Structure 1
Amino acid sequence: MDLEKYMLPCLSKTLFGIECLGCGFQRGFLLFVEGDFYGAFKMYPALFTTLLFLGIVGLNLIDKNRNYRKWIITSAILNGVFMIAGYFFKHYYSL
């Protein structure tokens, strides 16, 4: 099944011609689901930290007995660092 035809275009790139920090997430996630982990990392390096962050947030919503605030903040900061670093390397170095 060709899922690429159902992907949403980046609004920032469409309107301004500049890629946003999230550009490449959909294609990277598709590669991840297909099992191409290296290709997913090359497409969007912050994919794995984003999935970790979303997993911790989901765990926080499900498990009300524990406080995941520190884990959420830590994973959000780590994800932000990976997003900025991935954006920098995508535009100034080729992976």
Structure 2
Amino acid sequence: MEKYMLPCLTKKLMGIDCPGCGIQRATLLLFKGEFTAAFHMYPAIYPMALFFIFLILNSFTTIKNGEKIKLLLGVLAFLTAIINYVLKMFLIH
């Protein structure tokens, strides 16, 4: 699967990571069962996975307070991705 991964256009054109850099590799690590490595690659992988799993479940069944949960999980995934990006770009490097 690694040979079919798409390159990051932002990194390729501008030379910097984008907020989504690492998501493909983290997803692949999840499928391989390397959960800690997936988190280290892209910490937002778990909130995003919860968000998408909830979206799938919510499409098949009605969940009480589903809209609020969807919003909460979406915001959590977004904030985790942005905080990770800021830390990676400005504090870690």
Scaled to the shorter chain, the TM-score interval is 0.7 to 0.9
Q: Structure 1 residues 12-21 or 23-32, which shifts more? A: 12-21
CA distance in 2, matches of 1:54, 1:88: 23
SS in 2 for 1:18: coil
Following the alignment from structure 1 to structure 2, what is the Cα–Cα distance between the partners of residues 66 and 49? 19
Mapping for residues 74-93 of structure 1, pairs under 5 Å: 74-91=72-89, 92-93=91-92
Q: TM-score, normalised by structure 2?
A: 0.87
1:57 matches 2:55: yes
Q: Please report the RMSD computed on the Cα atoms of aligned residues, expressed in angstroms.
A: 1.5
1:18 Cα deviation (Å)? Answer: 2.5
- Normalised TM-score (structure 1): 0.85
Stretches of structure 2 that go unaligned for 5 or more consecutive residues are none
Which one-letter code corresponds to 1:14 in the other structure? K
The Cα of 1:93 is off from its aligned counterpart by 1.9
Counterpart selection for 1:26 from 24, 44, 48:
24
Give me the whole-angstrom Cα distance separating, in 2, the residues matched to 1:28 and 1:14. 19
Identity %: 41
Deviation at 1:86, TM superposition (A): 1.1
Gapped runs of 5+ residues in structure 1? none
